Structures are given as C-alpha cells and as structure tokens.
Amino acid sequence: MHVHDIKTICNLGTGTMGFGTALLFALNGYAVRMFGRSAASVERGFASIRGALDMYGRNGLVHEADIPAILGRITGCTTLEDAARGADFVIESIAEQLDVKREVWTRIEDLTGPETIFATNTSGLSPTAIAASLKRRERFVVAHFWNPPHLVPLVEVVPGEDTAAETVETTWRLMEAIGKKPVALKREALGFIGNRLQLALLREALYIVEQGIATPEAVDATVRYSLGRRLATTGPLESADLGGLDIFHAIASYLNADLCDARDPSPILKQAVADNTLGAKTGRGIYPWPAQRLAEIGRAREDNLLEWLKKDREDRETAAHAPL
C-alpha cells in the first residue's frame, strides 16, 4: 500500500494520545473511526478534540468555519468491528501492557484487509513482541507520537524484526502528510531514540541532586537556560560538530568516568514510588505541585509549544512556495 491509497484511519483509543492522533488525521482530510470502550469514553475523546480545536482557533492554526467539517470526519465507535471497517491504516494508543495490545491486535488483524498497515503508538515496548502472534507481521510498525501529539511534531517510526521496508516508508510518508516530523530507526531498540536520550539526561540530573552537587532548581534552570534553548535549534550531534569533536573528546576523557552509570532506577525515584509522591498527579514529587503552579506551568508549556507549531507551519509554507 502506498500513502496515496490511505483514506480511512482506524484510531484505537480516546485518551491523551488517542484523541490527539484522531484530531491530526481528521485535520488533514482523513476519515477517522475513533474507538473507545464505552460511549462515555468516546464522548471524552470528542470533548478533548473540541478543546484542542478551540485552542488551535485562538492561535490562528485553524479557521472556525472549518471546525464542523473536521469533527464530521470523525466517527465514534464502541466496537472493534465498527472501528476497523474499511480501515487502510490502524493507529493504536491503548494501555501500555503487552498482553492487552496483543489481544487487541489479534482481533484487528481478523477484521481488516491484507493491505492494512498496523501501527502501535507504544512509547517503548518491542514491536516484535507486540506482533508476535500476528500472521501479517510485515505490516506492523511503531508510530510513536510524542505527548501532547497535537502540539509536539516528532513521530518515531520503528520497525520490528519482520516489518517490511514498504511499511516503514508508507508510515513515514503518512506522518509527513499529517504535518508531523517523522524519524525512522534502522532497527528496534527499547525506548527508541527519544526516551533513551530523555532517560540518560534524567539519570544524570537525579544523580547530581543525589550527590549534593546542586539543587533540583539549579539543575532545571541549567537545562532551561542553556541546553534546552540550544538543542531546540541544533541536536546533540550537530552541537558536537559545531563545538569541535576534539573539544568533546577532551571533555569526555576526564568527565565520563565521573558520570552516573547506574543500571537501576535512581534512589530518588524508588523513594518517590514508595511514598506515593509521584509528581503532579499526587500533588508532590521532586517539587510540590499546588493547583495554581500546575496551571501556570501547563499554560506556559502550551504557549511555548504553540509558538513552535506556528513556526513549523510557516517553515512548511515557505518551503512549499520556494522556487525549484
């Protein structure tokens, strides 16, 4: 199947990730069949979609007159049979539990045609393991959207051991067609690219606090006002080239041995789980999270992501009108 053959999307899930993927496909002209386990789940998905469209509208990212048509492309479904009907591409964003995903995909395979592409939005599970019981494993791939999917452009496209190159290529093209920035891995790896990098940074950040080198506030400020700003323009490998590989070789020669190399989760994380101080969801983690602070930082993050989204759109429009 080629990307221009894809017309209908089966969207499994209505939660944080599921509503976002349904919205993105509908925004870009695809018919979407959005599955939730109950009518209430489907309605929550639609409520989230309407809220995101309102936010887009306030920021000039969608015309208010277009919103009814966008919503009209999405059909809510409470059975897999209805959701899978006529699907050319299936995107799944259900619980991050291997047995649950396997069960759902086994049913989806029986309900779809031989050319349908199967994509899981897992954030780190092995696509080979998820697809182990399927007959059409060559059609199975990871399309890992980053949260929130309607604001963060990256999608990691990850093959399993049996995934066909055509499946990766078509999925990549489809992600481009809905305005995302896809990256394709050469092979599967736990955590893909983004979570491996994110966890490496988090491990060292927690280690700095554990060792009494600096406070959490100092660690976060260091990233926000240096690395974070630079990495938004040049990635770590580009930054190394720009700084000089000889310089980074010299730094690595003395610093690597002093960095955290722990295999187990940080003692800070272990204690937080034991104490049920899990961060924003419980009101306290590394920091206290009163409602006002949580609302303020949520708005600030959303505003920053929206500004980047506007810039991405401007860049695409400029490229589309550039002379050949």
Domain made up of 193-263: CATH architecture: Orthogonal Bundle (1.10)
Strand blocks (E) in the chain:
8-12, 31-35, 74-77, 89-92, 117-120, 140-145, 154-159, 181-184
Looking up tokens 């736990």, which residue turns up? 190
Backbone angles phi, psi at 74, to 5 degrees: -105, 125
In this prediction, residue 96 has a pLDDT band, given cuts at 50, 70 and 90, of: very high
pTM (two decimals): 0.94
- Using CA atoms, how far residue 39 sits from 34, 73, 156, in Å, is 11, 18, 31
Q: Which amino acid is at 199?
A: L
Q: Which amino acid is at 188?
A: E
Which residues belong to CATH 1.10.1040.10 in the chain?
Answer: 193-263
CATH topology for the 3-184 domain: Rossmann fold (3.40.50)
Q: 133-142 pLDDT, tens per residue? A: 999 999 999 9
SS3 154: strand
Mean pLDDT score, 27-38: 97
**Contact assessment for residue 105 and residue 139, using Cβ atoms and an 8 Å cutoff:** no
Which residues belong to CATH 3.40.50.720 in the chain?
Answer: 3-184
- For residue 262 the two structure tokens come to 């722990």
Q: 159-170 pLDDT, tens per residue? A: 999 999 999 999
Quote the CA–CA distance of 145 and 11 in Å, as a whole number. 13
In this prediction, residue 90 has a pLDDT band, given cuts at 50, 70 and 90, of: very high
